[in-house]
Amino acid sequence: MMRLYIVTGANGHLGGTIVRMLQKKGAPVRGLILPGETAAALEGVSYIEGDVRNIESLRPLFENTQGYEVYVIHTAGIIDISEHVSPLLYDVNVNGARNIIALCREYAAKRLLYVSSVHAIPEKDHFQVLHEVRRFSPDWVVGGYAKTKAEATQAVLDAVQEGLDAVVVHPSGILGPYDRSGNHLVQLVNDYINGKLPACVNGGYDFVDVRDVADGCLKAIEKGKPGECFILSNRHYEVKDVLHMTKRYCGGRRLPVLPMWMAKAAAPLISWVCKLRKRRPLYTKYSLYTLSSNDKFSHDKATVELGYRPRDLAQTIRDTIAWLKGGKLGSAL
């Protein structure tokens, strides 16, 4: 039986990359985009406007699928670097996931792949490696985004216990080309290129290429066992290393490196200035917490069971710059 892929968040950084990969394989795709959005015309891809908060708006994605095995990839969500859970964040990330789960059951989807986050995994001290876990709770993690992803992930795993075939992936900090959705890390690189980044922070995180995460998602939906979770990470990179690689490929000025304590003290002022200038702040209390948190995520399980292998970040930075400047990428999808 022929497969049909439903991809939510089809205009997002990861969702859009997955759509392009599936289209390149010749698979029919239905992509969910928000009302009023436009998407690149791709052969074999149909876009449907809807909102994950409104279950009725999602039904056209699932209707008229006779003769197909339906595979659902749920990437839609809000990535927020603020501390608290706002009503919008909860409605999109948690209730939106519950709506997708309900429709997968109602229309007998073959399999659901839920894109969670490493932020949903409870943090341990800096000396311990972080692996996949079996249970999730918003009470065990810090930050609004992490709390919503933890609750939604547990909702998916609870549905598996009730008979739904679903797999979960946990990407780390996604970077790379093809972003039109406002990815914070792509913004970091772009702001540096355009001379709008005032300073660097003495911290870092596990940064991974969007194309490797997209490939990991497709491998997980193909090979992952029901109810299994897979960390799709890379390795730790300092922010100053990311900017150094950016400088190597396109030039730029040397930035002062702020100690973490100084950055945290200045965060409220930075947020205030950005608000006045109608710009989104990169350095918030929560984003700075993240840059100093334990990011020793192991992707061993995904490597062994799925064949997941992330590339070196230097290639990612080079291709991100090329994409931002409208040039040719060094490596394709």
Q: Which of 104, 321, 118, 306 is nearest to 217 (CA)?
A: 306
CATH of the domain at 44: 3.40.50.720
Asked whether residue 62 is assigned to any structural domain, the reply reads yes
DSSP-H helix ranges across the chain: 13-24, 55-62, 87-90, 96-106, 144-161, 184-193, 210-223, 239-250, 260-276, 285-291, 300-306, 313-324
Exposed/middle/buried for 185, CB within 10 Å: 0-12, 13-18, 19+?
Answer: buried
Instruction: Please state whether the predicted TM-score (pTM) of the whole model is above 0.85.
Output: yes
Position 256 in a domain: no
Range(s) of the domain holding residue 57: 2-174+207-234+295-311
Q: Is residue 118 part of a domain?
A: yes
Q: What is the pLDDT along the chain (333 residues), one digit of tens a residue?
A: 899 999 999 999 999 999 999 999 999 999 999 999 988 888 889 999 999 999 999 999 999 999 999 999 999 999 887 778 999 999 999 999 999 999 999 999 999 999 999 999 998 887 899 999 999 999 999 999 999 999 999 999 999 999 999 999 999 999 999 987 677 888 888 888 888 888 888 889 999 999 999 999 999 999 999 999 999 999 999 999 999 999 998 888 888 888 877 777 766 766 666 666 666 666 777 777 788 888 999 999 999 999 999 999 999 999 999 998 886 666 666
Residue 127 maps to a domain: yes
**CB 18 within 8 Å of CB 232:** no
Contact 184, 192 (CB under 8 A): no
Sign of CA dihedral 56, 60, 66, 71: negative
Residue 43 domain flag: yes
122 in a structural domain: yes
Three-state DSSP class for 171? strand
Look-up: residue for tokens 């699932």?
62
